[in-house]
Amino acid sequence: MSAPAIDRTRVLHIAKLSALSLHENEVDQLASDLNAIVKYVDELAEVDMSDVPPTTQVQFEASLWREDEVVVGLTRDQALSSAPQVEHEGFAVPVFVEGAS
């Protein structure tokens, strides 16, 4: 089952829902890239996996992660000292969703 093609209209709709601002020259390229991804996923769906057992977990012989180590962090004043703007004893960030305050 093939997914519908992703055209300019769909890209612009997704961009609006995602609060993304795209330049006009990015829309066609993004539509092309997304269509290539969907085409590849469709190709993967055609691979015969009937002889492949389901995998629910992959376990490595040795952990690739380092051990957690408790270290002293920054105080609030140290962290906020290089912030461009501080409000209510925390980092101030601009509103990025329309209608939010």
In a domain, 25, yes or no: yes
pTM: 0.50
Count of structural domains within the chain: 1
Terminal alpha carbon distance of the chain:
43
The pLDDT value given to residue 12 = 96
In a domain, 38, yes or no: yes
Reading the chain (101 residues) residue by residue, the pLDDT tens digits are 667 889 999 999 999 999 999 999 899 999 999 999 999 999 998 999 899 888 877 776 666 778 889 999 999 999 999 999 999 999 998 888 776 65
The pLDDT value given to residue 58 = 74
In a domain, 71, yes or no: no
In a domain, 2, yes or no: no
Range of the domain at 18: 8-45
Q: Is 8 left (phi over 0), alpha (psi -120 to 50) or beta?
A: alpha
The pLDDT value given to residue 60 = 66
The pLDDT value given to residue 57 = 73
**Structure tokens given for 38:** 């969907």
